[in-house]
Structures are given as structure tokens and as C-alpha cells.
Structure 1
Amino acid sequence: MSEIGRDNPQFYLTAPTACPYLPGKYERKVFTHLVGEKAAALNDILTQGGFRRSQNIAYRPACEACKACISVRVRVDEFRPSRSFRRIYRRNSDLIGEEVLPQPSADQYALFRDYLDSRHAEGGMAEMTVLDYAMMVEDTHVETRVIEYRRRSIDSALTGRGRGPLVAVALTDILCDGLSMVYSFFDPEAADRSLGTFMILDHIERARRLGLPYVYLGYWVSGSSKMGYKIRFQPQEHLTGTGWTRVDESET
């Protein structure tokens, strides 16, 4: 731990733990707290530097002899949906995402629980209680929103709201230069909708409407089936040792 000054964040290093993406590897993270009046500005800077947010913590990998985790962001203005992406748009044209304040609800937790039990029963979040979920959503000092996706209704064009049960949820930070998708989950019984992909496509459009140049997708790990989907959203930039660099799909 080093302290550069009273008003500067303090950074800490975790002990090695098993890597959730690459078998036989161990991960370490460097992290700091996002609290107080400067939390939002610090979150902007750290996200641009490859950090991710979890509640009031910003972290990034700091693994010895491994650089597999690469920060990825989509270039919004240049993004053009492929034919398969357009099919997913059409498949979910009956859904609408309503942006609400970061406040947990019983509906959200029920969907979150179904998602974890179906998709990540052995993962690190599998034992999260309703209180843990509430902390994930509302324990923040930065500008963030929950986007709830439901079926469109006859008055959705006027209200911006859907009706019926939740089918998907995204927890999203609003940054000075983009949207950062902190965490998302969806109805595991609606696999034919490709809801994870749809939410990313919807965020790209949201960023476009807001005049924001990027959508931050977190880490892409070459060789990891859990992270492979992120490379499909082109054009995108990867954070390298010399800064953010445009990468073509053929180069990955």
C-alpha cells in the first residue's frame, strides 16, 4: 500500500486466488475505494485506465506473469450491427428497457437468483443473499442506473415503460465518455432471445443517443468461453501498454 497524499486514493493488492477464467492460473487484483464527493470523477478516470467497479470498490487484475485480461470498449459511432445482431434486435423488438434509480426490488432479486442458479451455480456469486444483492445495486457513490427490460405495452412509446415480468436487468454506470456495463442478468428460460447480446446492443444505442463515444464491456480473455462473446462487438478498442488501441477482429 502506498499513499500519495491525503486527497488521493489508496491502493491495495489482494492475495492470489484461483483464476475463474483460465484453469491452472491464479489471479491478484489491485483495488481502491470509491467513496465521497470525488467518487464519480475517480470512477471515470479508473475505468478509462482499465478498472472495473463492484459496489464501492474499483479493481483491476494485477497478476504475475499473465496479461490475459484485456479491457474492452466499443466505439459507438462506428458500430454497425451485423446480420445476426439485427436478427437479435428483431427478436426482442417486443421489449423495452426502463432506466430507474439504483434501488433493489423483489422482482430483480428473483430474476437474479434464477439466473445464478441456472448459469453460475458454482461461481463466486452463487451464495449471494437478498441483502448481498441490495448492496450490489445501491452501495455506490457514483452515477449509476438499473435498466429493467419488460415487454412493451400499448402506451410504452409515451411512458417509456413495459409491462409484465422482468426478463432482463442491467446495472450500468454513466461515465463522462460512455456507459459501463457493471453487471447484467436475464431470464435463463429465454435462451432463444440472446438477451445478453441484446442488452449490449441496447446500451450501444443508448450511448449513441446520449452522445457518448464508448460502451465499456469489462475484460475480454482470449481462450475463455465465458468472455469470448465480447469480441463480436466491432469496432472496439483494447487497453494496451501504450493506451487504448483499435483492434480488428482478425487480429484477435
Structure 2
Amino acid sequence: MAQHLPIKIGLSQRFPCSYLDEQEEQLLVILDPLCYTPQGFEALLQHGFRRSGEQIYRPHCPSCTACESVRILASEFTPSRSQKRKLNKVKEFAVHVSHFERPEYYPLYERYINERHSDGSMYPAERSQFESFLLCKWMNIAFIELWHQERLIGVAVTDVMPNSLSAIYTFFDPDYEALSLGSVMILKQIEHAQKLAKDFVYLGYQIDDCRKMRYKLQYRPAQRLRADAWIAVE
């Protein structure tokens, strides 16, 4: 991959994979400061890169190619019957879009991590972790909020680029887990992309052998990046 991009790229050390047992993970990291713009990042998204905090990376593992980027064709998307039912359950809830971090976000994030992901690498939640993972000075970020009356119950952190959106992370109130808010917030991101006339919504990496990641293939039409070519999700 590195030889096709005329930019400076670094290679991380190997460390245990967060998704597949007995696998090691290694990352390509973009070092060229000229890439750290919404336009530069969007070009790299097309080659399978992602953003975490201020850093742009992509997996470059020694013996595994399981991570495949997935993107939804936003302009062609129509929700399925199941997805319409999920949206119908929150039809009375309000959606707001902020381009600035609100004080309400971190307490919601902290509850979400500590109650739903206490067995994960992000537990326990910390303010510094929240900022270094989700916030970014050089990116246009939309915080897509879901409100139940006066209560903030979900936030989808979404990067906004000229032709696409990139879903970075969603966190929500565990009390509303029965409403499938993870799926609802993806659908709200797609709706936002359609309002802005964006071509794609990037969902990050699909790993077929990881049960937690399979939800990303429920949104069609979509494409996955395989061997540096975007192919339709069947």
C-alpha cells in the first residue's frame, strides 16, 4: 500500500489484535502533515485509512487481512423494513446536529463505556481518552444528537468531508438499549449524508470473523474494500 501513496508513512510496532484472538496488529500511520485536512483524509479514506483522534492510520498486519473498509452508498440508500421499524420507535425523539462539543457529551460517554464495555480496552472511561479518541482540531466534526424530551440519549461523532461522512464512534444512554440506538444512529448519519448530498458514509472496518463487527453489512447498498478495490457487498 505504501508504495502507491506519495506521502510519508510510518509503521507501528506489533501488538495484540483487539478483535481476533491469537492475531497481532500493526498499523500504517500517516506522517505527512499535508494529509491532515478534510480533503486529504477523504482521499485516504478511499484507500482504507481511518481517523483516531488526530492520527490517520490503517491496518497493515503481518499475517492477516481481515479488516476491510465498508462504505454505504448514501444517495441510493433506502432503509429496510426492520430499519424502518427501528426509526419508527424513535420518531418522537429530536435530532440535532452540533459542530461543537457540548458539556453533556462526556458524562454520557463515560456511562456508556463503563456500563456497556467494562470488558474492553477503553474501560474505565477517562476524559483524556474521550478527547484523544474522538476530537480533532483539523477535521470538521458533526455531533449528531438524539434527544428524548430534555434528555440527551445518543451522540454519533461524524467526520464531514466534501463528498462523504465518516462514522467515528457512537455512544448512548444504556437505559435506552432496547431501542437499538447503535443502528438508529447509523441511520441518522445516513439521513444527514443525504441532506448534505454526500456520496458515501464510511463505517470503518468490517471483520467477518468478529461477531461484534457484522452489523456493518446490514446497510445496503454498500461496498467493501478488498485488495485495494471497492466491490459491492452481496
Deviation at 1:42, TM superposition (A): 1.4
Q: Is the aligned partner of 1:141 residue 2:138?
A: yes
- The 5 A counterparts of 1:30-109 are 30-33=28-31, 35=33, 39-105=37-103, 107-109=104-106
Quick check: 1:116 aligned with 2:113? yes
| Per-residue deviation, 1:137 | 4.0
| Secondary structure of the corresponding residue to residue 231 of structure 2 | strand
C-alpha distance in 1 between matches for 2:100 and 2:214: 28
Q: 1:188 to 1:35 in 2, by over 3 A?
A: farther
Compute the displacement of 1:138 (Å): 3.5
Note if 1:225 corresponds to 2:222.
Answer: no
CA distance in 1, matches of 2:26, 2:36: 26
State the TM-score, normalizing by the size of structure 1.
0.85
More displaced stretch, 165-174 vs 113-122: 113-122
Scaled by the length of structure 2, what TM-score is found? 0.91
Partner AA of 1:199 in structure 2: M
Distance 1:102 1:150, change over 3 A: same
Amino acid at match of 2:44: L
* CA RMSD of superposed structures (Å): 2.3
**Deviation digits for residues 13-36 of structure 1 (CA, Å, limit 9, x no counterpart):** 111111111111111111125857
Separation (CA, whole Å) in 2 of partners of 1:132 and 1:169:
16
**Which residue is 2:229 aligned to?**
243
- Structure 2 counterpart SS, 1:189: helix
Q: Which amino acid aligns with 1:79?
A: F
Q: 1:24 to 1:136 in 2, by over 3 A?
A: closer
1:215 and 1:86, CA in 2 relative to 1: closer, same or farther beyond 3 A?
same
Provide the residue aligned with 1:5 in structure 2. none
CA distance, structure 2, for counterparts of residue 37 and residue 207 of structure 1:
23
C-alpha separation between the residues in 2 aligned to 1:34 and 1:171?
A: 24
Q: Deviations over 1:164-198 (max 9, x none)?
A: 12100111101122110011111112111100000
Q: Residues 33 and 56 of structure 1 are in contact (CA less than 8 Å); yes or no, is this contact kept in structure 2? A: no
Greater Rg by CA: 1
CA distance in 1, matches of 2:161, 2:83: 25
Contact 2:113 2:124 in 1 (8 A): no
| 3-state secondary structure, aligned to 2:168 | strand
Matched-pair contact (CA < 8 Å) for 1:34–1:42:
no
Deviation sequence 1:57-95 (CA, Å, 0-9, x none):
011100112110000001112222111101001001122
- The question of whether the paired residues in 2 share the 8 Å contact of 1:34 and 1:43 is answered with no
Distance in 2 separating the partners of 1:199 and 1:147: 8
In structure 1, list runs of 5 or more residues that go unmatched: 3-7, 152-162
Asked if the contact 1:34/1:57 (under 8 Å) is kept, the reply is no
SS at match of 2:175: coil
Indicate the residue corresponding to 1:156 in structure 2: none
Q: Structure 2 CA distance, aligned partners of 1:137 and 1:239?
A: 24
Q: Distance in 2 between matches of 1:37 and 1:51?
A: 12
Residue 213 (structure 1) aligns with: 199
Write out aligned runs for 1:151-170 (5 A): 151=148, 163-170=149-156
SS of match in other structure, 2:97? strand
In the alignment, structure 1 residue 194 sits paired with structure 2 residue 180: yes
